[in-house]
């Protein structure tokens, strides 16, 4: 059961990392889009070749960051899938253990009830025998 809890925490952390990665990717893509549009506007109005190269270099760097973030997000999603599988296995083991414990508790209760009934029957029979002996039978 502790293992299931540990796996649930690891799964929650993996989910958080996926969400963060998705947010960062969206931010980088938005950033790239803004600079791409800005470059287009500035290029139409006119800019120096040096400024154009600087802009293009910067756009390439943002595109590389987007690509790197995509790769990182793929790895993070794969880690999340692995943690989900591990948690599922731990939850299944925990559920199986709980069912086993419930069956054992039920069997122990049945055994205790049987023993109590046998003791009660034996006591009743002794009482019946004692009453018969007092009456002279």
What pLDDT is stored for residue 136 in this prediction?
64
Q: What residues contact residue 10 under an 8 Å CB cut-off, 6+ apart? A: 83, 86, 87
Average model confidence (pLDDT) across the chain: 90
Q: Which domains does the chain carry?
A: 2-134 (1.10.287.1700)
47-101 pLDDT, tens digit per residue, is 999 999 999 999 999 999 999 999 999 999 999 999 989 888 888 887 888 888 8
Q: Is the pLDDT at 126 greater than 80, yes or no?
A: yes
Share of the chain above pLDDT 70, in %: 98
CB atoms within 10 A of CB 65: 16
Q: Is the pLDDT at 134 greater than 80, yes or no?
A: no
What pLDDT is stored for residue 33 in this prediction?
95
- For the packed helices 2-45 and 49-134, what is the interaxial angle rounded to 10 degrees? 160
SS3 (DSSP) at 137: coil
Task: Indicate whether this model's pTM tops 0.85.
Answer: no
For 102, the enclosing helix (H) or strand (E) is helix 49-134
Q: For Cα atoms 108, 103, 83, give the angle at the middle one, nearest 5 degrees.
A: 140
Please state the φ and ψ torsions of residue 48, each to the nearest 5 degrees: -70, 160
Q: Is the pLDDT at 29 greater than 80, yes or no?
A: yes
């Amino acid at each position: 059961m502790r293992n299931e809890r540990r796996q649930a925490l690891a799964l929650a952390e993996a989910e958080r990392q996926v969400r963060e990665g998705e947010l960062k990717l969206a931010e980088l893509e938005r950033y790239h889009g803004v600079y791409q549009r800005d470059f287009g506007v500035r290029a139409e109005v006119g800019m120096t070749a040096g400024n154009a190269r600087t802009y293009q270099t910067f756009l390439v760097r943002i595109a590389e960051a987007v690509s790197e973030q995509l790769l990182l997000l793929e790895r993070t999603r794969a880690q999340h899938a692995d943690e989900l599988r591990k948690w599922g296995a731990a939850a299944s083991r925990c559920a199986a253990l709980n069912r086993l414990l419930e069956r054992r508790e039920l069997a122990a209760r049945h055994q205790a009830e049987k023993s109590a009934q046998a003791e009660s029957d034996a006591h009743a029979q002794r009482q019946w025998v004692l009453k018969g002996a007092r009456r002279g039978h």
